[in-house]
Structures are given as structure tokens and as C-alpha cells.
Amino acid sequence: MTVTLDFPPDLETALRERAAQSGQDVGGFVLQAVREKIARFRRFEEVCAPFARAVEAAEVTDEEFDRFFTEVREDVWREKQTQQAPAALRCLGR
């Protein structure tokens, strides 16, 4: 596949410098950068797989799982509200 890219002048300069420093032409340098970026990209399912396996091993039902996250979300919300309230009251001079 052939791709044409238009880089701003400062990025083009940096790209040419980095390619030269690495002993590559610009095309090879860009191709390597794209390969590295793709290699680091992981799908959502891959990232979540260990967590999904742990939940499955714990034999937690969907309802228990939903209830747990709802409770945690509400606890975090309440905690944030408690932390924000004193600052808001200080602004009001209380």
C-alpha cells in the first residue's frame, strides 16, 4: 500500500533528522514507527482478558457483578462529594 502524508515543516525536519540518526531513509523510519505503534496497540478484549478470567473463576453472577460496580461507583461518588464540599463551603465563607 502506498500512502502520501503531508507533514508540517517542523515535523518533516524532525522526521528527516531522526531517520538519518537511525541510519534509515524516511520511508523506512516511518514504516518502523507504524509497525511499533501497531504492535503496542491491544484490543479491548485483550486488555480486559485477565480481569474477565478472574471474574469467571470467582463464579460471580452478572447480577452480583452489576451490583458490585454500582455500589463501588456510588461509594466513589459520595466520597468525591464529601471531599469537594469543604472547598465549596470555604468559597462561601463557611
Digit-by-digit pLDDT tens for the chain (94 residues) are 999 999 999 999 999 999 999 999 999 999 999 999 888 887 888 888 998 899 889 998 889 989 998 999 999 998 888 877 666 555 665 5
Q: Which three cell numbers stand for residue 62?
A: 452478572
How far apart CA 81 and CA 84 sit, in angstroms, is: 5
Residues 6+ apart with CB under 8 A from 60: 68
Q: What is the pLDDT of residue 91?
A: 64
How far apart CA 81 and CA 30 sit, in angstroms, is: 47
Q: Which three cell numbers stand for residue 34?
A: 507504524
State pTM to two decimals: 0.48
How far apart CA 15 and CA 27 sit, in angstroms, is: 10
Alpha helices, H only, 58-92: 62-91
Reference 51, options 64, 72, 71, 65; nearest CA is: 65
